[in-house]
Chains A and B, each alone.
Chain A
Amino acid sequence: MSEEDMSTHEYDAIVVGGGHNGLTHAAYLAKAGLRTLVLEKNGDVGGAAITEELLPGFQFTTFSYALSLLRPEIIHELDLVEHGFLPLMMPSSFHPTGDGDYLLFGDDHQANLQEIRRHSPRDADAYERYHFDLDRVCQAIRPLFDNPPPNLWSKDPEDAVDVKWLVDHLGSVDRKTMHDVVRLLTGSASDWLDDYFEHEAIKGYHASSSIIGSKVGPMSPGSGLVLLFHKMGEHDGHLGSWAFHKGGNGGFTQVLNRAAQAYGAEVRLGAHVTDLITQEGRAVGVALEDGTEFRAPVVVSALDPRRTFLDLCDPRELPLDLVDNIRRMKFRGVSAKVNFALDGLPVFPALPDTVDHYGGFLNIGPTIEYVERAFDAAKYGWYSDQPFIDAAIQSVVDPDMAPPGKHVMSCFVQYAPYELKDSDWDTERDTFGDKAQAVLESHFPGFGDLVLHREVVTPVDIEARTGLTEGNIFAGEFLAPQMYFFRPAPGWSQYATPVEGYYQCGSGTHPGGCVIGSPGRLASHRVLRDLAR
């Protein structure tokens, strides 16, 4: 290789993976003046946050499809508005109750209370108390969410300062809120909701976020944690509120892409990194599938922990307990997408003359029992006969997503376990799509006649296209032993790895997953701090 070729392959930092955390991380490093290279294996950036035009004029959010968890400081610190950041309000939230009736929530709190009262007068003030209590919990958790987990096992005085900060903070949380925190982190969504609501559909509505992406039912311990995590998101200061990014989540990662490049990061597509290159135990670069090498004293993996520790690097270079933990880490994907191009809007029989209920999520999981039964199959290696569906017709809010009068409908469907008993997803893909469509048909008669195109994305497809192990959308399940101090493994929650110069910034690190950006941001603080030393 000539000297010139060598110099074009040398950087201050290399980020492996151009998903939203990799791009966020690269933008921060480039902003700090580092000559930063992003290597993305696919033909475009975005990872699991992409938008694809599968039919002319129809924009499909193949995987992730809405925005909430993204930490607001990233928007400002990276000047994302300058690069086209535009989160569109989702004005409503719709929950068929399974008996032909529905719950429809909007932007008017008082009107929402009336909607609750229509079903249960008793649940109206419970609804206010519920949100107040959850808000208090979120307030208590937020500082933990937005800072790296302190290292409990270190002897370094700096770490001791962080531990003291944590202990002091926890000491400042009132008794009730602390108790609520623990109930949510360890308990089931069902138990938590039972303390507030009597109406089954109102409980079902609130339980929907407790199972997203997770191999739990709403009655399983641990579903409370998933519920809480989703409530930590915000849109324009509204906790637990979601938005559609202009152009879908692919539109959002293109914003990050522009921001990163504007700060000077270089992004190479179709560049599949297979190996971390080390010299004397420290990272010095990466090698691509085709043998091309790139050199940098800092290499940051935005991939999930399995790939970060077991694929990119040689496990023999790592401590055994870390390798053990990563091998044991749970990645059981249970989520699929069934995305539709529609000839028009579906009709909900009880609301024949309006379409205002299509402005946000359509939550198809009428009661906790319905969702728990949907979960049952997954325990035994099979998909739900009547799955839970979280749907969104994004073209209602953003007409640029489909031709005039036509629509795209993005459906998150659960449960669909990665491994099927005595079958495989190639065999079952269409049947599974049919099951999801049949559920939609049962709530929106005539739905099938509107379908112009259907895309079924199984956990196996998620893994094959994005690299997320077992198609787990969070790059590591939301289980208490895989969060905070333990994400992705005890002792390795601060973005460094045992290999000097090798870092991690993906959703498998705190406080990922979801489209959150924070792992990318917090990891950049770590890298820059280490470089300054």
Chain B
Amino acid sequence: MTGVRTTPFHPRLSELNDQGLYTHWQGTLSPLRYTHAPKHEYFAVRNSVGVFDTSPLYKYVVTGPDAERLLARALVRDVTTCRPGQAQYTCWCDDGGHVMHDGVVFRHSADEFFLTAARPTLSWFQELGSGLRVELEDVTEGYGMLAVQGPRSRQVLSTLMPEAETLGYFDHVPVKVADTAATLSRTGYTGDLGFELTVPDEKAVDVLDAVLAAGQGHGIRPFGEEALMTLRIEAGLALIDIEWHDARLAMSDAHKVTPKELGFGWMLRGVRDGSRRFVGSEAVRRELVDGTSRWLTTGIVVDWADWDRLYRDAGLFPPKSEHPLPYESMILDDDRIEVGYCTSFVYSPVLQRHIGIARVRPDLAADGTELRLELAVNHHNTTVRVRTTKMPFFDPARKKG
């Protein structure tokens, strides 16, 4: 071992980090925060512009005349509707129709795709592609990916690349920045107006410097994983190993989750009528037809008055922490029967509410259902009133506008 891997942006970003707090995201050094105040980094994204180093994602280039056939066979979303210059957030399943990983597929041409993945997945795609005229290459180290997110991201990037001005939601375009050919996409993981720049690793720092310089006077700052967690929960975005686990590595059925159960039902066009087939699609089709989903995913919003009362009655100040809870809590009904579980939970500063991503019994998933969330106050298990709600919790018009 030669020490933990770093990203192409690390030489510069580490200079901007006065905390020295890192996790090992995908075996790669990834900052929890850059300053003492991750919430300030969060507000950069919600009120000005922030940059996040998303390079640790796995990246694959898929090329060849059968590239689309392979991806259509592998991916849950219909990749044949993804035209060159477009991108799709998608996932893939095991044979039993349970979600393995998620990622974003970028289509560059009829027979060339770029796929990001939360987990290493090369052999799985290679095996699916055997016999097809398709090449798969792991280019994870070859590129840095820089997310530039927030209401001012377009204004800042437009000074470097005019393409940013008009780029549509989930579209991408080749750009030149800092004398470097890069890909600009209108993608991100914050639920806000935002972009990602995919750049060759050796030029990554140059591109980063150009972006930071363009952001001067606009409140630009790098943000770490702590800020990202709050942002992505507000955006209602699922995260592997929190909202679900790779089905192929799950030891029990309870640890597996179907796309429908995970809230990805919107990806399943053409599955119910059998017009589209991919790995696991038959199991998913049966689930849809027979209505056998065990759970549905919903947002939950905490009743603020009940939250405050619980803590005040216990002699405590009601906590409003933008740091997500690191554990799962049960969802109960009024009879204190377990009817689901909450996978992510946080106080949202922009919404001034505690929110959570939860999985509940399908009959309780309708918007506005009154339920209870288990929590411990003064070392005593109790419940707080919550109400189911549609996600995203935070969905500004600028995100897609």
Chain A interface residues toward B at CB < 8 A: 72-73, 75-76, 80-81, 85-89, 91-92, 106-108, 111, 135, 139, 236-239, 246, 356, 359, 396-400, 403-406
Contacts and interface: CB of A to CB of B under 8 A. Distances in A.
Contacts of A81: 350-353
29 contacts: A75-B352, A76-B304, A81-B350, A86-B47, A86-B350, A87-B349, A88-B47, A89-B37, A106-B35, A236-B349, A236-B352, A237-B320, A237-B321, A239-B317, A246-B47, A359-B37, A359-B40, A397-B219, A398-B47, A398-B219, A399-B47, A399-B152, A399-B217, A400-B47, A404-B217, A404-B218, A405-B216, A405-B217, A406-B217
Contact of A106 (B37, B48, B217, B317): B37
A184 to B, nearest CB: 18
A88 B36 contact: no
A399 B48 contact: yes
B92 interface: no
Given A237-B321, A356-B35, A398-B48, 18 more contacts: A72-B304, A73-B305, A75-B352, A88-B43, A89-B39, A89-B349, A108-B36, A108-B37, A135-B317, A139-B315, A236-B320, A236-B322, A236-B347, A398-B219, A399-B217, A399-B219, A404-B216, A406-B217
Contact of A111 (B36, B38, B349): B36
Interface residues of B, number: 31
B21 to A, nearest CB: 10
Contacts of A139: 315, 317
A135 B319 CA distance: 14
B11 interface: no
Interface of B: 35-40, 43, 46-48, 152, 216-219, 304-305, 308, 315, 317-322, 347, 349-353
A160 to B, nearest CB: 25
Contacts of B152: 399
**Interface hub of B47, B218, B308 (most chain A Cβ within 10 A):** B47
A356 to B, nearest CB: 7
Contacts of B36: 91, 106-108, 111
A88 B37 CA distance: 12
**The 3 nearest A-B residue pairs measured at CB:** A237-B320, A404-B217, A405-B217
B299 to A, nearest CB: 15
B113 to A, nearest CB: 37
A111 to B, nearest CB: 6
A451 B47 CA distance: 26
Contacts of A398: 47-48, 219
A76 B317 contact: no
Nearest to A76: B304
A91 B349 contact: no
Contacts of B347: 236-237
Nearest to A239: B317
Nearest to B350: A86
Contact of B352 (A85, A396, A404): A85
Contact of B39 (A73, A80, A107): A107
Contacts of A239: 317
Given A81-B351, A89-B40, A356-B35, A76 B305 contact: yes
B318 A237 contact: yes
A92 B244 CA distance: 37
Contacts of B38: 107
Nearest to A86: B350
A476 to B, nearest CB: 29
Contacts of B317: 135, 139, 237, 239
Nearest to A104: B36
A87 to B, nearest CB: 8
B352 A107 contact: no
B377 to A, nearest CB: 14
Contacts of A238: 320
A356 B218 CA distance: 15
Nearest to A356: B35
A195 B43 CA distance: 37
Contacts of A88: 43, 47
A242 to B, nearest CB: 14
A28 B216 CA distance: 42
Contact of A91 (B40, B46, B217): B40
Nearest to B303: A76
B35 A91 contact: yes
A239 B316 CA distance: 12
Contacts of A236: 320, 322, 347, 349, 352
B39 A91 contact: yes
A363 B146 CA distance: 37
Contacts of B353: 81
Interface centre among B304, B320, B351, B352, by most chain A C-beta atoms within 10 angstroms, is B352
A400 B352 CA distance: 22
B214 to A, nearest CB: 10
A237 B40 contact: no
Nearest to B151: A400
A17 to B, nearest CB: 26
A92 B40 CA distance: 10
Nearest to A405: B217
A405 B214 CA distance: 11
Contacts of B47: 86, 88, 246, 398-400
Contacts of B322: 236
Nearest to A88: B43
B35 to A, nearest CB: 7
Nearest to A105: B36
B37 A107 contact: yes
A72 to B, nearest CB: 8
A205 B43 CA distance: 26
A56 B93 CA distance: 55
Contacts of B352: 72, 75-76, 80-81, 85, 236
A32 B321 CA distance: 32
Nearest to B46: A86
A495 to B, nearest CB: 23
B380 to A, nearest CB: 19
A430 to B, nearest CB: 31
Contacts of B46: 86
Contacts of A404: 216-218
Contacts of B308: 72
A107 B217 contact: no
B40 A107 contact: yes
Contacts of B35: 91, 106, 356
A92 B304 contact: no
Contacts of A76: 304-305, 352
Contacts of B305: 73, 76
